Amino acid sequence: MTLSDYMAANNLRDWQMAEMLGVSRPQVSRYRSGKSYPPKEVAEVLVRVTNGAVTANDFLEMPAPDERGAA
């Protein structure tokens, strides 16, 4: 699940997630838009505060297996 999807599903604003993660509101906005990725320490907190719904892997844009040519 993306951070943006999680926040929408839980009615969270950027400033609220920022407080939970210990980062600035603009930083959360950059994470949501994909302009920036959370460092390891923030990613660990993100997993914890979302109960595993959002993980570091959710920030990676990888094609689906069929798009990579895998069988």
Amino acid 60: pLDDT: 77
- Tens-digit pLDDT profile for residues 41-69: 999 999 999 999 998 888 877 555 665 55
Average pLDDT score, the chain: 88
What CATH code would you report for 3-55?
1.10.260
What is the per-residue DSSP string for 12-69? --HHHHHHHHTS-HHHHHHHHHTSS---HHHHHHHHHHTTTSS-GGGG-----GGGTT
pLDDT confidence of residue 67: 52
pLDDT value, residue 65? 61
